[in-house]
Amino acid sequence: MDFLPLISEVLILSQPPIYEHPHIVNLEGICWEIEPRTEKAVPALVFEKASWDLQQYMNVSESKNMSIDDRLKICADIGSAIMTLHVHGLSSQTVHRYS
């Protein structure tokens, strides 16, 4: 297994502009998980649990009545987080996902 991408991501996520950013969840640690297909242990990054995600928030009734200014602020916050990640070394090819 190539550990270079994992190490690179850990180094990037440990930079103060990233871990101090209010709209980026923090890396808490690394653990091992077993891949179902190969049954090999692979490293997995562990992040703090966000209090909510955008999809959940947009499904609650109060979000449906948000002003355009509030909606634009959410877009700006997301853009700020993505820009910070990319300015500090995260590749534009990296896929950010959560489950």
Is pLDDT larger for residue 96 or for residue 61? 61
Q: For the chain, which residues make up each domain, given as ranges?
A: 4-87
The total of other beta-carbon atoms located within 10 Å of residue 13's CB is 19
Nearest to 5 by CA among 67, 90, 62, 97: 90
* pLDDT, position 31: 92
Residue 12, SS3 per DSSP: helix
Q: Does residue 98 surpass a pLDDT of 50?
A: no
Q: pLDDT of 16-71, one tens digit each? A: 999 899 988 899 999 999 988 999 998 888 998 877 777 887 788 777 788 999 88
Q: Select, from the ranges 47-56, 72-81, 84-93, the one with the highest average predicted confidence (pLDDT).
A: 72-81
pTM above 0.85, yes or no: no
27: nearest Cα among 4, 3, 43: 43
